[in-house]
Amino acid sequence: MSTVLAGNGLVKKYGPTTALAGVDVAVAERESLAIMGPSGSGKSTLLHTLAGIIRPDDGQVLLRGERIDHWGENRLSALRRKRFGFVFQFGQLLPELPAEENVALPLMLEGVPRRQAVQRARRWFAPLGLAGLEHRRPGQLSGGQAQRVAIARALAVEPDVVFADEPTGALDQATGEEVIRLLTSVTRDQGACLVMVTHDAEVAAHCDRVVQVRDGRIAGHSQYTVA
Ligand SMILES: Nc1ncnc2c1ncn2[C@@H]1O[C@H](COP(=O)(O)OP(=O)(O)OP(=O)(O)O)[C@@H](O)[C@H]1O
């Protein structure tokens, strides 16, 4: 399996706090990776560093073998828009737009004309169990439906990597289970890999691999390093 995204020797400090103390992690084609660990251990810092949102103080981030951590901000933000998808815990849908336009938005930002973008967006509704909800606004959706629209939006650009930070954190257990099942399967079917932070072991168990972060380091034995 070829490596899509790798972090090698990642270090990130905030003043006296070492959030990442030399992390090696990699995700392969179609693989899903869960990042777990106690509060403050560095999970979000790791996710954001891999996603090109936080710049590491040391170490490298490689996307398909190409180093991206030293790219300029404009180039990084274009990369995030085109090749990465993001699913967060809350509040990522625009309340005034129908679901299909929320999903179409990243495509429109890339210059796809509105009609075409909405047509492409609609393709994600059936696989995510959202058929018939295309015209609803976020306020007219349940929490689980809204989160599935957010997944559709993350996938709309057909990214290489989907990053998810506590994607089921605001959902009850049954709804969260359904959302994580769809997130992992639809992401894999699309050919993308998934990097997810979660504190919920049952959610993490849906991923191919789990790494434990402790004090800014990978603890445990399920990690591997790719040069
Ligand atoms: N912007 C920042 N400025 C200063 N310190 C920060 C900043 N962001 C994170 N930290 C610190 O870095 C460490 C790692 O934080 P991080 O948010 O990555 O942990 P986490 O494992 O995601 O925690 P949680 O599960 O509570 O979200 C913590 O000690 C945190 O206080």
- Determine the distance separating the centroid of ligand 1 and the alpha carbon of 223, expressed in angstroms: 21
From first to last of its 227 residues, the chain has per-residue pLDDT tens of 699 999 999 999 999 999 999 999 999 999 999 999 999 999 999 999 999 999 999 999 999 999 999 999 999 999 999 999 999 887 689 999 999 999 999 999 999 999 999 999 999 999 999 999 999 999 999 999 999 999 999 999 999 999 999 999 888 888 899 999 999 999 999 999 999 999 999 999 999 999 999 999 999 655 443 33
- Number of H helices and E strands in the chain, helices first, is 7, 10
φ, ψ dihedrals at 79, nearest 5°: -60, -45
User: Is the C-beta atom of 39 inside 6 A of ligand 1?
Assistant: yes
Q: Are strands 66-67 and 32-36 parallel, antiparallel or unpaired?
A: unpaired
Distance CA 132, CA 184 (A): 22
Distance CA 53, CA 33 (A): 19
Which of the listed residues 11, 13, 18, 43 should we mutate to test ligand 1's pocket, taking the one with most ligand atoms within 8 A of CB? 43
Per the CB < 8 A criterion, the answer to whether 95 and 138 are in contact is yes
**Which protein residue has the closest C-alpha to ligand 1 atom 2?**
14
pTM over 0.90: yes
Asked casually if ipTM beats, i.e. exceeds, 0.95, the reply is: yes
Strand segments (E) across 41-160? 58-63, 66-67, 84-87
Element spanning 148, H or E: helix 143-155
